[in-house]
Amino acid sequence: MNWKQRLQAVAAALFGVQSQQNRQRQFSGSPWPYLGLGAVAIAGLVVCLLLVVRLVLKT
């Protein structure tokens, strides 16, 4: 899988909308790229939520 497909897989996993076929394909390889992209995605989500909360509370 290339990075674009891995990023799409991580995004689908965050929203909980993956097919069984995609899930099986992802578990056939190394988990490290998925763990790294997942950590970055969650950190980005947290930062975005913090920014939105700060903007809402500021006004």
pLDDT tens-digit series, residues 19-59: 888 778 777 778 888 899 999 999 999 999 999 999 999 87
The packing angle between helices 3-15 and 32-58, to 10°, is 60
Tokens of 39: 């950590």
Give residue limits of the domains in the chain: 3-58
Supply the pLDDT for residue 17: 83
As a whole number, mean pLDDT of residues 6-29 equals 82
Give the separation between CA 39 and CA 59, rounded to whole angstroms.
31
The pTM (predicted TM-score) of the whole model is 0.71
